[in-house]
Amino acid sequence: MSVSPTPARSLDEVLADRLWLDGPRAALLLRVCQAAQVLRPEVFERYWGELKKISPALPVAQHEVFVGLKSAIEPVPPAELKGWRHEVADAIAAALALAQRHPAAGRDALAECEARITSHWWWPFGRGPLWLKLVLAWLEVDRGEGLSRLGRLDDAVARNLLESLNDQKPLTVAEWNAVYDSRVADVAQAAVAELLDRGAPQFAFDAARFADVGRRLREEILPASIAKDDREAEAKADKALDRYLHLVRLAQQLGPEPAQQLREALLLETAGAKRYDENWTQRFSALFRLLAVWAAHEASRDSTRAFLETRMPELVRGAVLAHWCALLTEGELDASAKWQQIEPLCTDASAAETWFLVVLLRRGQADVAFQLARRSPRAEAILPSLHRAWLFEHPAAAPTPYPAGFSADEVADDVIAQFMLCGTPALRAEFLRERTARGSQPPPPELWSRPGIDDMLAILNPDKPGARDPRRFAAPAWYSRLEAKEKQFATFVRQNGYGQYTQENVDPHLLAALVAWDEAYPAEAEQALAAMWEVMKPGDTGDLRQDLIRNAIFERCQECLAARVDALDRFARWVKAELVDQTVSETVGNTTYSFSLNEKAPFLYLLLGAEKVARLSAARRDALIAKAIADYKASPELMTATARLYASDKGFAALQPPAPLLDRSLEEAWQLGVGDAARPAMLASLVRVDESTVREDVAALARA
């Protein structure tokens, strides 16, 4: 959404829309007033009165923020304070006036007022307004003294006051230290998080304060655990990481050492974080994403490599060194030299070399990767991975030009390779048309087959005699949570370094081909997708009860059947009929296992499909969303996420849903999602931030 340079006028137009419910309108006004109270006072005055009128409708989570803003903006008038409180309020006003003429005497008078408030420790009500008046008075007389007393205020009031003070005049090093060292360290951290979200250009922190703020953010990035599919917790951790990256950039202004300490601390803690103990493949992914960001800091590259060589735990050292050196390698001689340097430091040299070459290939150095692989004593094991890597990392380059060392003859009997070598979604659609007899049968089993117990055993025990060849079919990226630590990197490379075909790397291309097919020959595609569902439809209650198998089946359906609304809806209706409206039971020996899904599962599957197809077709995304909200039950959280996706390219124009909501009580949740999607651009304009500027570190993280 583009926002007018005159946000007051554009906001008038937005807020005048009669579709708004009071809750979402109030949430939007609250964010506007928060950002505008110092930076755009004329905008604040325009909307503050309206916000107060509808503030009771604010979502519960935002009430505290409003109370803090209101208390700081509109302290209780002295006339409303009775008895001794009225006397103290008058004394504070008099002390402030005295301080303007005689600073020392005024300070003494304020200290006396503070003593009078403190002496009424037994009084259970009504001291809050007095403390606020006293703090505000101290802030005018001596900002440091006022900041040291923020602990006397409610957290919401203190946080709002701290943010507005920094907006007026950035706090000094001494002032930030005073706040953090007082009783409001958590409030200070929340205020800093808000300022980091706004992309604050600088913080007057010393090295110790940067380290302390970084430590607190790392606790949010790396909680002890995050449950699978806990989107809220994942989003919170990702937000904390965005803040951390900006904090590192700000620390760089102080000097290279504070920033490097922040980088090293996050790498080291990520390597040992309990969060990744069970989902341990995510540990490597997280480390590699960080290295991609740190590689942009040229001045610290040598010190980072030294840190990786000497301080990183042995079990991840080879992985991070292979990734780091591949990111910073240019040309065959440089690549060969770097690999020779780090090979002795790698516990699993085979996995590290494969990963090193795959990363080189990803960076556009396919010729170098193939040349080094052919000279390697491990060539026989590495080359198949590089063939697959080239097919998926450079799909538009296929079928020509081939990189040096790539031979199409080597993949002549490989159905998936032949599919990828077609080069474009349209040509891959033609491949599917030919292999399915114009849609009358499903795609070849190498591309589309239902995972089962044999596939699970083959992937979890790839060396077992008789296991299926993981290079010849699209298998789920399964792994054992109890995998021995010394084997974890090799398993990660097998999954993510193209040691096998996985549905995670095949299905996005299969979806794109199905969309292209449906656009050119919809009747054929409809028939083919129906056949694909029949292949994938679970026919065994054992498959449904096994989480790994069931999830793999459902994930393939969510992604590939999203090519057509009716195809994905067929799957969702089956889920509702078989697994939501009734319970599946299976007796094994003397034990009966029962299984069912939450009533919101069909909605979730349509939402996930919409997310997958969104990159290919906004129209298909919107049609899936319309089907979901009209036909299936959702939670407020799911509805907000759906509206956020729908509004991602529409802004406030998405306030009207594409179909009537099945549950009208979720209309507020929908509008909150629209506000979430449109709010960043609006606020960027409001505070005069250039929308087109994206922080380099966050952009690098996204690319990684």
**Residue 664: per-residue pLDDT:** 93
If pLDDT is split at 50, 70 and 90, which confidence band does 81 have?
low
What is the secondary structure of 526-563 as a DSSP string? HHHHHHHHHHHS---HHHHHSHHHHHHHHHHHHHHGGG
Alpha-carbon dihedral sign for residues 21, 27, 33, 35? negative
Question: 3 pLDDT exceeds 70?
Answer: no
If pLDDT is split at 50, 70 and 90, which confidence band does 469 have?
low
Question: 8 pLDDT exceeds 70?
Answer: no
Question: 691 pLDDT exceeds 50?
Answer: no
- The residue among 651 and 601 whose pLDDT is bigger is 601
Question: 684 pLDDT exceeds 70?
Answer: no
pTM: 0.84
Question: 521 pLDDT exceeds 80?
Answer: yes
Question: 5 pLDDT exceeds 80?
Answer: no
Query: Which whole number is the average pLDDT over 344-365?
Result: 96
**Residue 586: per-residue pLDDT:** 79
**Helix residue ranges, H only, 152-206:** 155-168, 173-181, 185-197
Question: 685 pLDDT exceeds 70?
Answer: no
% of the chain with per-residue pLDDT over 90:
58
Question: 704 pLDDT exceeds 50?
Answer: no
Query: Which whole number is the average pLDDT over 73-79?
Result: 63
Question: 359 pLDDT exceeds 90?
Answer: yes
Question: 245 pLDDT exceeds 70?
Answer: yes
Query: Which whole number is the average pLDDT over 1-24?
Result: 67
Q: Where is average pLDDT lowest: 2-16, 211-225, 540-554, 574-588?
A: 2-16
Q: What b-and-e string marks burial along 229-267, b requiring 16 or more CB atoms within 10 Å of the CB?
A: eeeeeeeebebbbbbbbbbbbbbbebeeebbbbbbbebb
If pLDDT is split at 50, 70 and 90, which confidence band does 666 have?
very high
Question: 636 pLDDT exceeds 90?
Answer: yes
Q: Is 507 exposed, middle or buried (0-12, 13-18, 19+ CB in 10 A)?
A: buried
Question: 525 pLDDT exceeds 80?
Answer: yes
**Helix residue ranges, H only, 273-313:** 281-294, 301-310
Per-residue pLDDT tens for 13-32?
A: 788 888 999 999 999 899 88
If pLDDT is split at 50, 70 and 90, which confidence band does 545 have?
confident
Question: 86 pLDDT exceeds 80?
Answer: no
User: Interhelix angle for 349-362 vs 332-342, to 10°?
Assistant: 150
Strand pairing partners for 325?
A: none
* Averaged pLDDT score across all residues of the chain: 87
* Interatomic CA distance for residues 626 and 621, integer angstroms: 9
Per-residue pLDDT tens for 378-422?
A: 999 999 899 899 989 876 765 566 777 677 777 788 899 999 988
**Residue 590: per-residue pLDDT:** 82
- The residue among 434 and 8 whose pLDDT is bigger is 434
CA trace torsion 421, 425, 429, 431 (10° rounding): -10
If pLDDT is split at 50, 70 and 90, which confidence band does 699 have?
very low
Question: 458 pLDDT exceeds 80?
Answer: no
Question: 600 pLDDT exceeds 90?
Answer: yes
358 near 498, Cβ under 8 Å? yes
Query: Which whole number is the average pLDDT over 524-528?
Result: 97
Nearest to 403 by CA among 437, 444, 374: 374
> Amino acid identity, residue 529?
L
- The residue among 678 and 504 whose pLDDT is bigger is 504
**Residue 481: per-residue pLDDT:** 85
Q: What radius of gyration do the chain's Cα atoms show?
A: 30
Q: Where is average pLDDT lowest: 479-483, 567-571, 608-612?
A: 479-483
- The residue among 352 and 4 whose pLDDT is bigger is 352
Per-residue pLDDT tens for 109-149?
A: 999 999 988 886 555 555 678 888 899 999 999 988 899 88
- The residue among 699 and 545 whose pLDDT is bigger is 545
**Residue 554: per-residue pLDDT:** 95
Per-residue pLDDT tens for 156-210?
A: 888 888 888 888 888 999 999 888 887 788 999 999 998 898 777 778 899 999 9
